[in-house]
Chain A
Amino acid sequence: NAGVTQTPKFQVLKTGQSMTLQCAQDMNHNSMYWYRQDPGMGLRLIYYSASEGTTDKGEVPNGYNVSRLNKREFSLRLESAAPSQTSVYFCASSLRTGGESYGYTFGSGTRLTVV
């Protein structure tokens, strides 16, 4: 099984450019998440989707938008990239949001640099 697949793996953007990070899972999970990882700050939740058709803000949503395209796919969009958005982005999925005893399954990450 592929699990959670993220594309692209690496990306360099100029300030002000836009881009979409793609995420797909093949585990029939209901919930999906976007995190950013910065040194010394752990993982911070950007947005999540508890189920198909719903999305909610996490801890650090400013500057991002998301789309839950279907049960499998959850994309993250940067409309106007800023250097502060330089980070490693992880997509994750789980059977459900809340009381999830199986934990999350993570993708391998997208390393984004904004210059």
Chain B
Amino acid sequence: AQSVTQLDSQVPVFEEAPVELRCNYSSSVSVYLFWYVQYPNQGLQLLLKYLSGSTLVESINGFEAEFNKSQTSFHLRKPSVHISDTAEYFCAVSGISYGKLTFGQGTILTVHP
């Protein structure tokens, strides 16, 4: 079984500031890791994923996440946020060979002008 803990329920930041959304996971098997984004009144969209290889993965809109196996973390970062990044972000994990996707509780990122 797997579990995911997102350490911050809400993160307010000012535009152009850096941000980090924290995610820790627990699993007895090797995992795939995902970040999803949910804009207001919409469904979830895949932002980025870690499958294997380089521990640093990037999205097309400037977010990046780093897989740290020793700390069982997959934190999401962006060096300079925009108003349009305001959304709820979900970390998720699934086993490589089996297991459904398990989601964290979500982090609401609010970017202020």
Q: Interface digits, A26-67 against B, CB 8 Å rule (1 contact, 0 not)? A: 000000010000001111010010000000001000000000
| Residue A97 CB within 8 A of the other chain | yes
Q: Which residue on A lies nearest to B96, using beta carbons?
A: A99
Query: In the assembly, what is the distance between CA of A41 and CA of B104, in Å?
Result: 8
The listed residue (A58, A92, A98, A108) touching B98 by CB distance below 8 A is A98
| Residue B12 CB within 8 A of the other chain | no
Is the Cβ of B99 less than 8 Å from the Cβ of A101?
A: no
Stretch with Cβ within 8 A of A (4 or more), from B37-45, B55-63, B65-73, B76-84:
B37-45
Is the Cβ of A103 less than 8 Å from the Cβ of B101?
A: yes
- Which residues of A lie under 8 Å from residue B90 when comparing CB positions? 42-43
Q: Interface digits, A79-99 against B, CB 8 Å rule (1 contact, 0 not)? A: 000000000001010100111
Is the Cβ of A99 less than 8 Å from the Cβ of B43?
A: no
- Which residues of A lie under 8 Å from residue B74 when comparing CB positions? none
Question: How many A-B residue pairs lie within 8 Å, measured between CB atoms?
Answer: 60
Query: In the assembly, what is the distance between CA of A107 and CA of B44, in Å?
Result: 8
Given contacts A100-B94, A107-B43, contact A42 B100 (CB under 8 A): no
Query: In the assembly, what is the distance between CA of A107 and CA of B41, in Å?
Result: 11
- Which residues of A lie under 8 Å from residue B45 when comparing CB positions? 106
The listed residue (A45, A97, A99, A106) touching B44 by CB distance below 8 A is A106
A4-B43, A100-B32, A108-B43 given; name 16 further pairs at CB < 8 Å. A33-B100, A42-B6, A42-B90, A42-B104, A58-B100, A92-B44, A98-B95, A99-B94, A99-B96, A100-B94, A101-B32, A104-B44, A106-B36, A106-B45, A107-B43, A109-B42
Q: Can you report 25 A-B residue pairs in the complex whose CB atoms are below 8 A from each other?
A: A33-B100, A40-B9, A40-B105, A42-B90, A42-B103, A42-B104, A43-B44, A43-B103, A48-B100, A58-B100, A97-B100, A98-B97, A99-B32, A99-B94, A99-B95, A99-B97, A100-B101, A103-B49, A103-B101, A104-B44, A104-B46, A106-B36, A106-B44, A107-B43, A109-B42
